Structure 1
Amino acid sequence: MMPSATRTDARESGVIGLGFATLWRGIREQPRLFALAASGACLYTLTGVASSIVLGEATERIVLPAVRDGHADWPAVAVAAAVIVGVGALRALGMFVRRLAGGTVVFRVQGHYRHRVTRQYLRLPLSWHQRHSTGTLLSNANADVEAAWNPLMPLPFAVGALIMLVTALALLFATDPVLALIGLVVFPTFGWVNLWYGRRVWPLYAGVQRLRGEVSAVAHESFDGALVVKALGREEEETDRFRVHAEELRDAMIRAGRLRGLFDPLMESLPNLGILLVLIVGAVRIRSGAIDVGQLVRVAYLFTLLAFPLRAFGWVFGDLPRAVVGYQRVEAVLTAPSEEPQGTRNLTGPGPAALRLAAVSYAYPDASPDGTAALPGTAAPAGTASPDGASQDDAAGPSARSERPVLSEVSVEVAPGSIVAITGRTGAGKSTLAGMLARLVDPTDGAVLLDGVDLRDLAPGEVSRAVALVPQQAFLFDDTVRANITLGLDVSTEAVWAALRSAQADRFVAALPAGLDTHVGERGTSLSGGQRQRVCLARALVRAPRLLVLDDATASVDPRVEGAILAGLRENAGASTVVVVAQRRSTIALADEVVHLDAGRVIGCGRHVDLLASSPRYAALLTAYEQAARAAGTDAMPDPDLATEAVS
């Protein structure tokens, strides 16, 4: 559904006014190229008017005398042919310039806005992205941008047609005012039909663009969850779910197509009706001696020439409703508030950073009752993760979000160069806290301070330069190992290998077919889960962060390999301050201090051995993991809730 502000604008300005205002924005992006395209269109249309004059004169001075005298004046025929060819060549030149420059305008403006949309996506915080489905965001950057600027292609032709229309009307009045009156009837009728069409088709196209986003969202979710769909045999159900949305889009497009199917024939028929009236009235005028045959040929040919340029108006007016809808959806992205204030302060000094959490609290933003997002007609995807990108362990439903905060007055101090482990049951708020340290979300109360500076006061880019977060779910791009580690950072090959050694990934990377230059496939499908996590860890280490945050980032790694990784971090403790979300006793035991979270609150803080002795809940948590793992005969760590229940 379109926002109320948009509906008000539509009522006040009208679809046509909004459409031309949208196109004017595109023209201002490429004014010189558009002027060149419009000049080519004017050359094309004016040479069309000139060709009608040439044909009229040739008919009157060459054709009719040849018919009357029984022989042709061949020198005059040669001159007329040369003039016709010359006019045709100029017309072809105008068409070439119009199409080349006009196409360049459209593609450049679309490319510019795609770039702006994607840059805005990167600027907006993760919490904004989690409120919008991926399919809708793809639709904004592709289908909506195309819809917004497609009318720019025929617009130069329409400008030329307008010049041609004025010139043709002047020529019509100079030739015969009576025949010119037919044009004064046909052309206003053409304009009225365009206005009628625009007002009725605009809401239909609004629905089409909204449903495009929904179809893209369902398709993307199905493709992204292909492993689950295949493993659980959900192909038929997913096909049915997609079919429902696809059929809704089909029906909406058919409704808009029916109206377009009525509009296009009207645009085709109006100039032809004008030609028919000209011939009927012109025959009467010739019989009365008011005009001659050459003048009638000139007028009739003018109407024939006007038929095609007038269709350019139809193309522009026909696409204006879609342009309005597309631009409004794009503008909703471009004007979305960042919700993330930026400061101007910089971090000074090298080495590991001091970290302090001062009474930090966080509650998820309330979801709207219908789950709709900020974009017009956008629905939040089913099963959306928490706004801070936390794992499902920390994610609660909309009702839970409004009942209690995820974190409540968490206060922790981490000395520079130390290792702190954060542990707790499922849903304790561990991943939310880890994301907060990298400023994926800001606390609703309290502050996260790095070297005594609130993260919200730091200048753009300062947090990402000082803090590196390695999430539990490792993501790799469809690129080489080297590119996935550097991500555009200018570092030497030696530094990349050093990071891989620290992440215990150098051996398997060296064994790959092309080593660092091996392509890992989409999302790193050619690597195992543990290998992907180690590459992601190397990605963080190569940046030499002052604060390294590991959100259960070695959960898929063999315990022995994990031990080697953490031992390396322990040996190089002076390089970075390390905060690790962990469940395994071996991981936690390497930490200088352990923070025990439960229901978003700190219920224990201290050395591992001290907490084991003083906190029964902490001891039960770690013991539950180990006993459940031994009972299962595996080193894999089970869900702590289930493990605790099994022990109790």
Structure 2
Amino acid sequence: MSVAAPVPRAPATGAVLRRGLGVIWSGIRTEPRPFAVAVVGSVLWAAATVATAGAVGWLTDHVIEPSVQARAVTAAGLWTIIGVLVAILAVNVLGVILRRVYATIAGFNLQARYRRGVTRQYLRLPLAWHHAHPSGRLLSNAHSDVEATWQVFNPLPMALGVIFMLVIAGGMMIVVDPFLAFVGLLVFPGLFAANLVFQRAMSPRITRAQELRAEVAQVAHESFEAGLVVKAMGREDEETARFRGRTLELRDSLVEVGRTRGTFEPVIEAIPTLGTLAVLGVGTWQVSRGDLGAAEVVQMAYLFSILAFPVRALGWVLAELPRSVVGYDRVQHVLRAQGGMSYGHHAAAHTAAPASSHLDHVTYTHAGETSPTIHDVVLDVPAGSTTALVGPTGSGKSTLTNLALRLVDVDSGTARLDGRDVRELGRGEIPRVATLVPQQTFMFDDTVRGNVTLGEEATDDSVWAALRVAQAEGFVAQLPDGLDTMIGERGGSLSGGQRQRIALARAVWRSPRLLVLDDATSAVDPSVEQAILAGLREASDGMTVLVVAYRMATITLADQVVYVEHGRVVDRGSHEELVGRCQGYADLVHAYAREAAERAAVERHEEEAR
């Protein structure tokens, strides 16, 4: 049995840079081709940008100064200026296009890959794991955490191009004048130091903001899911206040992130400008002494001015690293989660005969609980029979059905299907044989047909036949588009009983050899329930039925009744036998009968009043 691990916190501040580089390297190995093209484009852009400074110096020395001295601009000189700048511009534009397009491709490919991986992991992990993790947090893992992880790939190719640019620019500066290059290059250690301090300051703030995003998503998801309860209990104001509290925390956290960014970014932006001023000041002094020409000073100053903005890309990468590391850790918490079910290689029996189910001394404990939910239960469901599980609320009936279908694994003992341990069956073999209809039915935002077949190919006749058994044919025929009627999110346009009948038709359409009903007719009228059970009886020649029952109509149709209390099987036999010898069972079914009689009386009174 898996136990939920705590959601990871951000790594220590000193480890952020190392961990962030590890995340980047993982992404590069995953998407090498588009990333390589983006880097090539960034190098072209960097080379063209630096070449612009060299071209400006060369044009100043060979075209502009002679033209100024001659007080005339020749056509050849003008075309030289245009030709050189247009050629450099073309390379620059090509580099920018390659860098941006392929960096975007790499980033979104990584996001898509990891979202698919997270979703596959959600489907692989057992129900016990999902019960320990809020849905809102899982949604945040698949969306905002994945996005945060790979957002760093947007500025990353540009930052690598900037490093290439700095190497070329440094070489050019040294060639022009080593002393002036030394003065200018003193700027960059200060720039990197400022970025490092910035990254350290941002790390805890980004971490907290990312955690709060998940909490806001969790509260919002609970509010939407519990909309009926909130309205029925008049808790709109309290739920709004709860959501407001989380959103205000997120707002304050994001404001703190923005305040930190707003404090550091002007400093980081000013440092290259200070370098440009220093180069101009020292360069002017050297020109006055005759050590340098004006063209060299213009070239150096221009080079620093065009480096001021691109160098900020390094800061962008460093600023994204804390968020990237936090998102990566939260996603890896899902991808590395343990507790997934292992499957054997055996196939279920290929036959149309009813299946048998057997629980042999099984014990099961829910995650986070210390005492077992199911204690040493032996439950035999013979092939072709109808077995009713009866017991008080919380006695473990639904858990027994989950164990029989291997929705969760037993802690000890064995669950068997057709005599074979369910753990020896291959993936997908149990759903091919057995189908569950839970009490809380789920409808997709799809047509009636889509909700019955779940996208599989089917003839209209087969769908109508399943709806007929589930007593849903009548109301579906009256819908505007029949089988092709859209029923809305979670089947919002249908009543609870109608949703249950479509869910039952979904199971019947698959012609299961074992049909498990977990109080699957609780929302339908007793008369409709009797018709459904009669239809199942007629259609169950090749079907075994295990039903969690609360109504007498269901219980009396069963071949055997199993009475459960506190996770133990207390007695089993026919309804008549249990009524005569099991006091707990007799009290419970008499309470069911009284409740049904009172409900029928109320319905008759309402009918007479109408």
**Same fold by TM-score greater than 0.5:** yes
Asked whether 1:447 is paired with 2:414, we answer yes
2-structure distance, mates of 1:363, 1:290: 85
The alpha carbon displacement at 1:634 in A equals: 4.9
2-structure distance, mates of 1:589, 1:318: 68
Structure 1 residues 64-86: Cα deviation after superposition (integer angstroms, max 9, x where no partner): 22222222233112112111112
Asked whether 1:356 is paired with 2:323, we answer no
Give the equivalent residue in structure 2 for 1:533. Answer: 500
1:413 aligned counterpart, secondary structure: strand
Q: Please tell me whether the aligned partners of residues 7 and 333 of structure 2 are also in contact (alpha carbons under 8 angstroms).
A: no
Structure 1 residues 219-266: Cα deviation after superposition (integer angstroms, max 9, x where no partner): 111111111222222111111111111122222222222222222222
Give the equivalent residue in structure 2 for 1:614. Answer: 581
Amino acid at match of 1:237: E
Task: Report the CA distance shift for 1:471/1:634 in structure 2 as closer, same or farther (over 3 A).
Answer: farther
Give the equivalent residue in structure 1 for 2:309. Answer: 308
Give the equivalent residue in structure 2 for 1:384. Answer: none
2-structure distance, mates of 1:315, 1:126: 40
Give the equivalent residue in structure 2 for 1:382. Answer: none
1-structure distance, mates of 2:277, 2:126: 62
1-structure distance, mates of 2:75, 2:599: 104
Q: Please tell me whether the aligned partners of residues 184 and 276 of structure 2 are also in contact (alpha carbons under 8 angstroms).
A: no
Q: Please tell me whether the aligned partners of residues 133 and 217 of structure 1 are also in contact (alpha carbons under 8 angstroms).
A: yes
Give the equivalent residue in structure 2 for 1:515. Answer: 482
1-structure distance, mates of 2:235, 2:218: 18
Task: Report the CA distance shift for 1:632/1:519 in structure 2 as closer, same or farther (over 3 A).
Answer: closer
1-structure distance, mates of 2:19, 2:6: 15
2:342 aligned counterpart, secondary structure: coil
Give the equivalent residue in structure 1 for 2:335. Answer: 334
Residue of 360, 365, 368 corresponding to 2:367 = 365
1:512 aligned counterpart, secondary structure: coil
Q: Please tell me whether the aligned partners of residues 629 and 635 of structure 1 are also in contact (alpha carbons under 8 angstroms).
A: no
Amino acid at match of 1:629: A
1-structure distance, mates of 2:521, 2:229: 23
The alpha carbon displacement at 1:543 in A equals: 1.5
Amino acid at match of 1:270: I
2-structure distance, mates of 1:269, 1:344: 66
Task: Report the CA distance shift for 1:3/1:15 in structure 2 as closer, same or farther (over 3 A).
Answer: farther
Asked whether 1:470 is paired with 2:437, we answer yes
User: Bigger CA drift: 70-79 or 503-512?
Assistant: 70-79
Residue of 495, 498, 510 corresponding to 2:462 = 495
Q: Please tell me whether the aligned partners of residues 437 and 504 of structure 2 are also in contact (alpha carbons under 8 angstroms).
A: yes
2-structure distance, mates of 1:83, 1:349: 77
Structure 1 residues 257-291: Cα deviation after superposition (integer angstroms, max 9, x where no partner): 22222222222111111111111111111111111
1:573 aligned counterpart, secondary structure: helix
Question: What's the Cα RMSD here?
Answer: 1.8
The alpha carbon displacement at 1:305 in A equals: 1.4
The alpha carbon displacement at 1:624 in A equals: 1.3
1-structure distance, mates of 2:468, 2:6: 54
1:346 aligned counterpart, secondary structure: coil
Amino acid at match of 1:258: R
Amino acid at match of 1:225: A
User: Bigger CA drift: 609-618 or 582-591?
Assistant: 609-618
1:603 aligned counterpart, secondary structure: strand
Q: Please tell me whether the aligned partners of residues 421 and 594 of structure 1 are also in contact (alpha carbons under 8 angstroms).
A: yes
Amino acid at match of 2:482: G
The alpha carbon displacement at 1:633 in A equals: 4.5
Give the equivalent residue in structure 1 for 2:45. Answer: 44
1:309 aligned counterpart, secondary structure: coil
1-structure distance, mates of 2:19, 2:407: 37
Which structure 2 residues correspond to residues 16-415 of structure 1 after superposition, within 5 A?
16-350=17-351, 351-366=353-368, 401-402=369-370, 404-415=371-382
2-structure distance, mates of 1:455, 1:505: 33
2:452 aligned counterpart, secondary structure: helix
2-structure distance, mates of 1:229, 1:406: 30
1-structure distance, mates of 2:453, 2:331: 32
Amino acid at match of 1:578: V
Structure 1 residues 441-481: Cα deviation after superposition (integer angstroms, max 9, x where no partner): 12222221111111122211112222111000111011111
Amino acid at match of 1:340: M
2-structure distance, mates of 1:114, 1:474: 27
- How many aligned positions are there? 598
Q: Please tell me whether the aligned partners of residues 358 and 404 of structure 2 are also in contact (alpha carbons under 8 angstroms).
A: no
1:526 aligned counterpart, secondary structure: coil
Q: Please tell me whether the aligned partners of residues 431 and 551 of structure 1 are also in contact (alpha carbons under 8 angstroms).
A: yes
Amino acid at match of 2:366: Y
Identity of aligned residues (%): 47
2-structure distance, mates of 1:187, 1:632: 82
1-structure distance, mates of 2:342, 2:6: 26
Task: Report the CA distance shift for 1:212/1:634 in structure 2 as closer, same or farther (over 3 A).
Answer: farther
